[in-house]
Amino acid sequence: MRLRGRPILVAGLIAAVALAPLALSTTAGAATTPTASFTKVNDWGAGWEGRYTITNSGTTSITSWRLEFDLPAGTTVGSYWDALLTSSGQHHTFTNRSWNGTVAPGASVTFGFVGNGSGAPVGCTLNGQPCGGGTTPTTPPPSTTAPPTTPPPTAGTPVAANGQLRVCGRQLCNRNGKAIQLRGMSTHGIQWYANCATPASLDVLAREWNADVLRISMYIQEGGYETDPRRFTDMVHNYIELATARGMYAIVDWHMLSPGDPNHNLTRARTFFAEIAERHKDKVNVLYEIANEPNGVSWSSIKSYAEQVIPVIRSRDPEAVVLVGTPDWSSLGVSGSGGGVDTIAANPVTGGNLMYVFHFYAASHGDLYYNTFAQAADRLPLFVTEFGTQEYTGDGPNNFTMSQRYLDLMASKKISWTNWNFSDDFRSGAVFTTGTCGSGQFGGTSRLKPAGAWIRDRIRTPDDF
């Protein structure tokens, strides 16, 4: 998408936050005795998803909480949710958010985070006292004789049903050679809206919306990867693991936008994709989108970039599907003069298991875009990694009629898609109402915008895997 503006940073994403003074509501003669217990919800060897449950076993309400622990050297905290975090070396302090600090007698609250490495929390204290809740037994560390792997996907999930994908002709096919259509959601920029893509929200996406695929949008500029490559690479690792644990496919979106020439970030891209492909080469659910929306450059420049990045991936993950952006904001050249379908078809990127990207916003992109897309589908393997029911800014009124025309065409030609976007951004294209991600309440339809309710209904109708 071209013009998105710059969202306000979400407070929960800032590593160093001011901690509010802690207070316990007390009554004469009564004492509160909160406890906290830790569980490793998922463990994939190189990392894990952890959860703390804070329980008020006392007789008066707790009005705030502060949980501290240490991690052994070599283990770090990645993404986190439903809490605020301050870290000093290996010591980590989580405090409540504005909406989950009060815990009534007998009630519990939870927060979670992703750990990078094999270590587990030690020395836990809650409001200055030992946590006292014990630790749930965890999966033993993986054998040193074999690389760590995420457990196999649960039966019945999209990944369990389809396995390793490949491109057969102009179709995306599963391990049995059957043409399939994946349907799912794209995150917004993870530098702004990581609190909208959490284990809780991804549970809803996978199990309530029945989504097949999560697109992980990592901006390169605009406060993204170039500002802290280590942090953002780790965030992508974490999201891949969270999608894998839920049986969804994961698209790693190298979200270059401005500058529009992907070659500007060539060195960064090669470094990033080398690590991602090396870490996840044994998975069957990772797809690589190597250039989100090239713009202002010719097809030959995009092709040159692709043919320098794809070998970095192929040398590590030879079977994965790679998605290549197309000229003029991945419009197949319709939005400018960077080369259209004829140019791409006459000079395709070298190699197999490749698909070309098309993006559209239905309120802005009418018959010219639709007809170009329809004709291209008979000549090129296509994947729509981003579309919206509104204007190309991701805002404005929805055009559900035109959107449905596109969806009907994609269904008839088995073209996979992800919708923009799975966040509570103020624009009409974000599926959740503003404030939803801070509340942590993602289920049902009460907190969906019109575009969110519309797309949820269409994701919930699955392909015939």
Catalytic residues: 293, 386
Beta strands in 177-334 (DSSP E): 183-186, 213-219, 249-255, 286-289, 322-324
Reduce the DSSP state of residue 371 to 3 states and report it.
helix
How many Å apart are CA 43 and CA 140, to the nearest integer?
9
Q: Is the dihedral of CA 279, 255, 296, 410 positive or negative?
A: positive
Q: Which two tokens stand for residue 363?
A: 């309120």
As to burial, measured by CB atoms within 10 angstroms (0-12 exposed, 13-18 middle, 19+ buried), residue 236 is buried
Q: Which amino acid is at 290?
A: I
> In sequence order, which ranges of 218-298 are alpha helices (DSSP H)?
229-245, 266-280
The length of the chain, given as a count of residues: 465
Rg (the chain; Cα; Å): 23
Looking at residue 1, the DSSP 8-state letter turns out to be: -
Cross-sheet strand order for the sheet of 129-130 = 84-88, 91-95, 66-70, 122-126, 129-130
As to burial, measured by CB atoms within 10 angstroms (0-12 exposed, 13-18 middle, 19+ buried), residue 275 is middle
Reduce the DSSP state of residue 2 to 3 states and report it.
coil
- Whether the CB-CB separation of 11 and 17 falls below 8 Å is answered with yes
- Whether the CB-CB separation of 195 and 430 falls below 8 Å is answered with no
How many Å apart are CA 415 and CA 182, to the nearest integer?
8
- Whether the CB-CB separation of 417 and 387 falls below 8 Å is answered with yes
Is beta strand 122-126 parallel, antiparallel or unpaired with respect to 213-219? unpaired
Other beta carbons within 10 angstroms of residue 186's beta carbon come to 27
How many Å apart are CA 300 and CA 292, to the nearest integer?
16
